Amino acid sequence: MAQSSPLDGVLDPRGSRRNSGNDLDLWLTLNRRLALDPRAARTLLDQGGSVDEALRLLGVDTLGHDPERERARAAMAGCGAVAVPIASRAYPSRLTALSDPPPLLFVRGDVSALGAPAVAIVGARAATAYGLDVARRFASELARAGCVVVSGLAWGIDAAAHRAALEADGRTVAVQACGIDRVYPAPHRRLADQIVDAGAVISEFPPGLRPRKPFFPLRNRLISGLSQAVIVVEARERSGSLITARHAAAQGVEVFAVPGPIHAPTSAGTHRLLREGAWLAAEPGDILSALGCTAASPVERAMRSLGARERAVLAALEQRPATREELARALDCSPHDLSLVVLELELDGRVTEDRDGRLWASGKGD
């Protein structure tokens, strides 16, 4: 039996991957209509059984030319994004458990990072030196233990958590409240690009959409929904981080709060969470123990340092050696794209080629 690829059902606007049986244009049309009402999108998909039937129930003509849809495809291609519909095997299973999962996720980076063990770290934008230090320490230790660090790319705690995970050679996922072709806040564009190289930046909103206030609570439910635990480092009495914590509690996700100085405004929200029953997060080990996580092996760390395509190649070659042509067919990618990936892996000592032209996973680089 052929094994499914981790990229099954991922829709690429450049046409290199169209494995889901549902056309990207249909999903873009549904997403544009119902991105702000994901509960209604799920209801229609459940009733119709497929995206084209859901659109028919919605009364949408999917056959005509649609300039907005073409602009969305162009924007996705321009920023290197793919789309992961809820019908895809690559769609993160934790999000399907939500009552209002996004019908479509836009992803820049490694789609597989969305299904890995993950912990969210969120907190105040105007963070204190204490809060930033705590966020960095927790993110670094969790990343080294093999957890994906999830946050919202905002100023303060979010950015500190993302950067610390990157510096620890770990993976991190940023969830945005705007179109995938935008970065908010704009000065974090370089940080977003670094996250793409070592994880993923995602959004449920159509390309081109600017961030708006109502989008952030929707964004926050995905931060908690992708995670097995949420850590609130600093939060004022009225804080978006508390919204994320409420989403987590409703989703059955463990909520942890870091205590702070009793008179600090940024401690008011976290202390309130502790009074309401959140777990105390005094050190990273508290979260690892609660989740049953252990430190990652050197081989696992080496694998996490690779991109999605490199991991897919190694996973295929670990099953059996293959020629370049066989590998390109198995991974549904062009020979040109594959040759670039294989070259990097050969230079790194992870792949070797025998005299018959077969590629082998060498087991080096760990």
**Stretch 292-310: mean pLDDT, rounded?**
59
Q: Give the pLDDT band of residue 140 (cuts 50, 70, 90).
A: very high
Terminal Cα distance for the chain, rounded: 30
Strands 148-151 and 172-175 turn out to be: parallel
pLDDT tens readout for residues 113-135: 999 999 999 999 999 999 999 99
Q: Give the pLDDT band of residue 305 (cuts 50, 70, 90).
A: low
Where exactly are the structural domains of the chain? Answer: 24-109, 112-296, 306-361
**Stretch 9-37: mean pLDDT, rounded?**
78
Count of C-beta atoms within a 10 Å radius of residue 52: 16
pTM comes to 0.78
For position 188, what pLDDT does the model report? Answer: 97
For position 366, what pLDDT does the model report? Answer: 39
Q: Give the pLDDT band of residue 184 (cuts 50, 70, 90).
A: very high
Domain spanning 306-361 has what CATH number? 1.10.10.10
- Helix segments in 145-214, DSSP class H: 157-167, 189-197
The answer, yes or no, to whether residue 364 has pLDDT greater than 50, is no
> Cα separation of 320 and 193, whole Å?
34
Q: What is the mean pLDDT of the chain?
A: 87
Q: Which residues are CB-neighbours of 91 under 8 A, at least 6 positions away?
A: 9, 84, 85, 105
Q: Give the pLDDT band of residue 206 (cuts 50, 70, 90).
A: very high
Q: Is 134 strand, coil or helix?
A: helix
Q: Give the pLDDT band of residue 21 (cuts 50, 70, 90).
A: very low
- For residue 308, what is the DSSP state? H
What region, left, alpha or beta, does residue 132 occupy, with left being phi > 0 and alpha being psi -120 to 50 degrees? alpha
Reported as half-sphere exposure (CB side, CA atoms, 13 A), residue 4 has a value of 10
Place of tokens 């809060």: 131
Q: Give the pLDDT band of residue 39 (cuts 50, 70, 90).
A: very high
> Cα separation of 215 and 253, whole Å?
21
18 strand-pairing partners: 11
Q: Is the dihedral of CA 162, 166, 170, 173 positive or negative?
A: positive
pLDDT tens readout for residues 246-288: 999 999 999 999 999 988 999 999 999 999 999 999 888 889 8
Q: Cβ(322)–Cβ(358) under 8 Å?
A: yes
> Cα separation of 77 and 176, whole Å?
18
**Stretch 162-171: mean pLDDT, rounded?**
95
Count of C-beta atoms within a 10 Å radius of residue 80: 16
Q: What token pair was written down for 311? A: 């991991």
Which CATH architecture best describes the domain 112-296?
3-Layer(aba) Sandwich (3.40)
Reported as half-sphere exposure (CB side, CA atoms, 13 A), residue 275 has a value of 7
Q: Give the pLDDT band of residue 137 (cuts 50, 70, 90).
A: very high
More confident residue, 62 or 323: 323
The answer, yes or no, to whether residue 96 has pLDDT greater than 80, is yes
